[in-house]
Amino acid sequence: MSETAVFILIGCFFLFFIALEVVMLIIGHKRAAEYTLEKAHKEIQDESNNWVITLVAGVVGDVIAWFWLGSRISRAAFIFVLICVDLLLLLLAAIEYDTKRMAKKKIRESEQKGIEQQGEDHRL
């Protein structure tokens, strides 16, 4: 199999997963609008910053891959795969970050509605 065919095959493989993660980001954004207050609080109480861990794991994985695979496969193929994997990890971190952000936004909106409702009750 020629090197060009391998690039195309690997590119299609990663393109599928990149498109899948973009769709997951869009669906997650729409689904977050339907968060109940209880689900948003539960999401916030989980104080792990998964998106930071994902980014750090990506950097560590790049360093390990550079020393382990850097001399075993062609440089062009290695960089191509590295860029695709890093793009997947960045999208995954964006999904994790957006989930936390939307939960915080839902809590702020509910608190704002509660404050407005208390103000209306106080005026009556």
Average pLDDT of the chain, as a whole number: 80
Give me the domain span that covers residue 70: 3-115
Return the pLDDT at 60: 92
Phi and psi at residue 87, to the nearest 5°: -65, -40
CA 93/CA 99 separation, integer angstroms? 10
Judge whether 124 lies within some domain.
no
Instruction: Count Cβ atoms below 10 Å from residue 48 Cβ, excluding itself.
Output: 9
Residue 120 is predicted with a pLDDT of 63
Q: Kindly report the number of other CB atoms within 10 A of residue 39's CB atom.
A: 13
Best mean pLDDT range from 8-12, 72-76, 112-116: 8-12
Question: Model pTM?
Answer: 0.73
Number of domains in the chain: 1
Name the percent of the chain lying above pLDDT 90: 2
How far apart CA 40 and CA 51 sit, in angstroms, is: 17
| 9 found inside a domain | yes
- Residue bearing the bigger pLDDT, 2 or 52: 52
